[in-house]
């Protein structure tokens, strides 16, 4: 058994014991990818893939139909460590196929009659060493693609054109983009989720993505200014301060056994400190990231445990401004993953002085 599967088996053995089940199954794409590292998606609109990956305490299994079995065996799963089971496409379903193969009692992350539900998010946290290596590579690639597109922007570009460029650039690197937001100067001030329209960028733009490869998700935002309003720099600096305080609070919570609610309290205090007390009400603040865009959100009284090593992506906003990156938090380090070293940055320190980060600033592009 390879090292990745061995680490997954250790967590799943504990799950089987704790929940008194004989097997656990995953067909949702991010959890399938977490378990085996492969892709079980054909139809991107479906919340469940074309195959389910399972573990019974002894072996890893994949159940799929005869259309997909050979392709998955050759391209998506470590075949030497996984047993493939197939049913005829016209004579069964994924749920019935799993029910036929699996010992019981069992749990699944999709609807299998008689099976218990499994919260895969708990199993996906914290990240393993292999996960971290892949995350670093993904973070660099996402930042590189987004920044390349941003450097070519012009005030007359349409938001929809920019999104097309993002998707093509990221797609060429094997990265999907479930979230791609581009807001020109009018709409970025009006909406926190600036879904792209056929409107010109104007004086400045916010460009945000959440991108996925091999099940891992990385988020980042970049700000590009052509003729920036006077307030943009100040508001952007404030969002960077809130974000840095959120990350410092995350590290403290991870070391002290804290919760997402503890991190939220620090975020709210940070908004107070920059004189923008009510801005947190207008948008979620982000949270843990990894094998989901957000594994949990920082919000009042949230009891999700804060773990390390783990990815975190906070996205504080103040009207018309936003700061966001995906960051690896460990017990003794805070490492920005979505970075290239080629974008303007500003050093920001949290209120306690414990975390100092280079935060991505505003790229100013001169126009004729």
Indicate whether 120 pLDDT > 80: yes
Q: What angle do CA 216, 75, 40 make, to 5 degrees?
A: 50
Residues 52 and 86: beta-carbon distance below 8 Å: no
Indicate whether 234 pLDDT > 90: yes
pLDDT bracket for residue 78 (50, 70, 90): confident
CATH class of the structural domain 129-364? alpha beta
What pTM was computed for the model?
0.97
What's the rounded Cα separation, in Å, for the pair 199 and 186? 9
Location of each CATH 3.90.230.10 domain in the chain: 129-364
* pLDDT tens track for 23-34: 999 999 999 999
Match domain 3-122 to its CATH number in 3.90.1640.30, 2.40.50.140, 3.40.1080.10, 3.40.350.10.
3.40.350.10
CB atoms within 10 A of CB 4: 19
Indicate whether 4 pLDDT > 90: no
pLDDT bracket for residue 213 (50, 70, 90): very high
* pLDDT tens track for 235-248: 999 999 999 999 99
């Amino acid at each position: 058994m390879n090292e990745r599967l061995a680490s997954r088996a250790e967590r799943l053995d504990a799950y089987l014991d704790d929940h008194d089940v004989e097997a656990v199954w995953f067909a949702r794409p991010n959890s399938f990818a977490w378990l085996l590292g492969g892709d079980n998606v054909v139809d991107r609109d479906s919340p469940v893939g074309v195959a389910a990956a399972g573990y019974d305490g002894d072996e890893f299994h994949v159940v799929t139909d005869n259309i997909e079995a050979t392709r998955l065996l050759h391209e998506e799963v470590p075949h030497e460590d996984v047993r493939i089971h197939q049913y005829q496409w016209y004579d069964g379903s994924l749920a019935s196929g799993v029910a036929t193969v699996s010992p019981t009692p069992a749990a699944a992350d999709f609807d299998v009659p008689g099976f218990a539900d499994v919260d895969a998010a708990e199993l996906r946290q914290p990240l393993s060493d292999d996960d971290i290596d892949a995350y670093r590579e993904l973070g660099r690639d996402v930042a590189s693609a987004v920044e390349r597109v941003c450097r070519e922007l012009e005030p007359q570009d349409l938001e929809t054109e920019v999104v097309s460029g993002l998707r093509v650039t990221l797609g060429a690197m094997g990265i999907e983009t479930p979230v791609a937001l581009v807001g020109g100067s009018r709409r970025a001030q009006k909406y926190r989720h600036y879904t792209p329209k056929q409107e010109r960028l104007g004086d400045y733009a916010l460009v945000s993505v959440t991108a996925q490869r091999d099940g891992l998700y990385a988020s980042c935002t970049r700000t590009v200014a052509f003729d920036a309003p006077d307030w943009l720099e100040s508001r952007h600096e404030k969002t960077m301060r809130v974000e840095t305080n959120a990350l410092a609070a995350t590290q403290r919570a991870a070391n002290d056994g804290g919760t997402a609610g503890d991190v939220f309290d620090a975020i709210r205090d940070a908004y107070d400190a920059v004189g923008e007390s009510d801005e947190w009400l207008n948008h979620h603040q982000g949270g843990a990231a990894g094998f989901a865009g957000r594994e949990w959100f920082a919000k009042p009284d949230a009891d999700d445990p804060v773990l390390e090593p783990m990815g975190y992506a906070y996205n504080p906003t103040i009207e018309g401004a936003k700061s966001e990156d995906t960051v690896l938090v460990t017990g003794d380090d805070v490492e920005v993953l979505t970075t290239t070293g080629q974008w303007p940055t500003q050093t920001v320190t949290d209120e306690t002085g414990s975390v100092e980060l280079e935060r991505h600033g505003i790229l100013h592009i001169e126009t004729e």
